[in-house]
Amino acid sequence: MQIFIDSAKLEEIKEAYDSGILDGVTTNPSLIKKAAEGLKENGQNLDMADYIKKILATAKTARVSLEVTEYVYDKMVEQGRKLFKMFNPVAKNVYIKIPANPSFEGEKGKEFDGLRAIKTLSAEGIPINCTLIFTPEQALLATKAGAKIVSPFSGRIDDYIRTLNNIPFDKSDYFPAEGKDGLNDNGIVSGVDLARHIVEIFKKHNIKAEVLAASMRNARQVREAALAGADIATIPFGVIKELMSHYKTREGMRNFTDDAIPEYINLTQK
């Protein structure tokens, strides 16, 4: 499974890249906002174009998703084209993120505007990551339209199932892949189950698009996404750290460090 970082913070992307584990970066308007707020708090000026170029240069060969903020077909296409043209030349690693269905309260955008934008941009050779996927059906149609990556939001499905059933939770709380007490969202019992359904449908129908498990909230959920066959998981920096953390590893390090005798240490200190 490929590992992407779900962040627009340059220092997090750099640290993950330098550790040798990074296959990609996903951003969205909320993550860009957080990164921008961080910079401003530190008294740094934000030159958005320059900042994104730095992300792309830092990620090097790792693929970077940049999302459109428009929600009407023509404007999404125009923005997608411009983002790709401005930023893909830096490292040839840009994917444009288009929402599965950009219509929302107030009738902003239309039901099929996302699919139409995916179709148009894909036909121009712009690789698309279709985002805000909450059903296997949305994933299937996104790939029909040409999306190369589909992004089911696993954590948010877990949130939704718990909220519908008045179960209190914190954002990082584990929710089992196999679900709980028969609770479900139209047959989907958890966020990882959503990713698993998509993986199975793609296998059965020989669909080549990649399944990117997004909205990952804890290490166990990442493990379950890998077991479910997700091609990619995009993971916040804090959860990437959690993937490497275990009490017995820390304890073992302490013991080995305490036990190291000078004769052995000195071998390599001359």
* Site stretch for ligand G3P (CB under 6 A), options 14-22, 73-81, 109-117, 148-156: 148-156
- State yes or no: residue 215 binds ligand G3P (CB under 6 A): yes
Q: Which of 100, 214, 228, 240 binds ligand G3P (CB under 6 A)?
A: 214
Pair 45, 77: CB distance under 8 Å: no
User: Tokens 């998703």 identify what position?
Assistant: 65
Q: Which of 1, 5, 6, 188 binds ligand G3P (CB under 6 A)?
A: 6
Least separation, in Å, of the C-beta of 155 and ligand G3P? Answer: 5
Three-state SS at 207: coil
Q: Is 229 left (phi over 0), alpha (psi -120 to 50) or beta?
A: left
Cβ neighbors of 15 (< 8 A, separation 6 or more) are: 237
97 is catalytic: yes
Q: Smaller CB distance to ligand G3P: residue 9 or 120?
A: 9
Q: Which of 24, 102, 127, 155 binds ligand G3P (CB under 6 A)?
A: 155
User: Per-residue contact track with ligand G3P, 70 to 89, x per CB under 6 A?
Assistant: --------------------
- State yes or no: residue 210 binds ligand G3P (CB under 6 A): no
Pair 68, 79: CB distance under 8 Å: yes
Q: Smaller CB distance to ligand G3P: residue 120 or 221?
A: 221
Catalytic residue (choose from 53, 54, 60, 97) = 97
Q: Using CA atoms, how far apart are residues 42 and 48, in angstroms rounded to an integer?
A: 16
Q: Which of 13, 28, 65, 150 binds ligand G3P (CB under 6 A)?
A: 28
* Site stretch for ligand G3P (CB under 6 A), options 11-19, 25-33, 141-149, 222-230: 25-33
Q: Using CA atoms, how far apart are residues 226 and 21, in angstroms rounded to an integer?
A: 15
Annotate 239-263 with b (16+ C-beta within 10 A) or e (fewer). bbebbeeeeeeeeeeeeeeeeeeee
Residues carrying an active site annotation: 97
